[in-house]
A and B are shown apart, each in its own frame.
Chain A
Amino acid sequence: GAGVSQSPSNKVTEKGKDVELRCDPISGHTALYWYRQSLGQGLEFLIYFQGNSAPDKSGLPSDRFSAERTGGSVSTLTIQRTQQEDSAVYLCASTSRFAGETQYFGPGTRLLVL
């Protein structure tokens, strides 16, 4: 596609419910990242996928967070038993070596946990 797409753009959920956030990277980009950005804060790294290698999960804040990337393309970030502190904008970015490591960001999913 022309750019990184994410869905949904906004999600409101109740505390304790599970949510799934989707990221569709730029076609051909081998690396995919998930970040979280709380209001007025910088970007917090969550997880990184590179090709078929094992993902770098070092940024996931708890075992309620998980992510997968199917077929080396689309990725889903799942948050189980959501808490109010999970409310943030979840950003996905993709890149490839041929893009000079420039990370291209999607529009984000704004998650609000009530």
Chain B
Amino acid sequence: QKEVEQNSGPLSVPEGAIASLNCTYSDRVSQSFFWYRQYSGKSPELIMSIYSNGDKEDGRFTAQLNKASQYVSLLIRDSQPSDSATYLCAVNPIGASGSARQLTFGSGTQLTVLP
């Protein structure tokens, strides 16, 4: 079993719809969770980080974390064609107050927003 699992997609949604990206992780001690966006041929860039159970909103993006279910998701509201990219889920076993450690990345979900 992979440590961080994502549906590879591709996931296609029409412009203006909500895109829902899901990620599960196996390490129960995981404390920090990140969503990165990677455009084709580019390096990953951070979109959201979340450390506590519940929802965290930033503009059109909402991250949802459920540690009991070992599940983290990313919702993109009012999806735009410019949101088309691969979205990588990353998990860190050390809490936000601890020292930085390596992230474990999922293989990514490819999202296409159709105009």
Do the beta carbons of B100 and A42 come within 8 Å of each other? Answer: no
**A43-B92 in contact given A48-B101, A50-B99, A101-B32 (Cβ < 8 Å):** no
Q: Are B106 and A42 in contact (CB under 8 A)?
A: yes
Using A42-B105, A42-B108 as known contacts, say yes or no to A31 and B44 having CB atoms under 8 A apart.
Answer: no
Instruction: Enumerate chain B residues within 8 angstroms of A97, measured Cβ to Cβ.
Output: 99-100
> Across the interface, which residues of A come within 8 angstroms of B42, CB to CB?
107
Q: Say if the beta carbon of B96 comes within 8 Å of chain A.
A: yes
- Which of B34, B45, B103, B106 has its CB near the most chain A CB atoms (within 10 A)? B103
Bound Cα distance A112, B59 (Å): 39
Whether the pair B46, A102 counts as a contact (CB closer than 8 A) is yes
Does B49 sit within 8 A of A, measured CB to CB?
yes
**Complex: A104 Cα to B43 Cα, angstroms:** 9
Q: 14 additional contacts, CB 8 Å, given A31-B100, A33-B102, A48-B102?
A: A31-B99, A42-B105, A42-B106, A42-B108, A45-B103, A50-B99, A91-B43, A91-B44, A97-B99, A101-B32, A103-B46, A103-B100, A105-B44, A107-B43
- A residues lining the B interface (CB < 8 Å): 30-31, 33, 35, 41-43, 45, 48, 50, 56, 59, 91, 95-97, 100-108
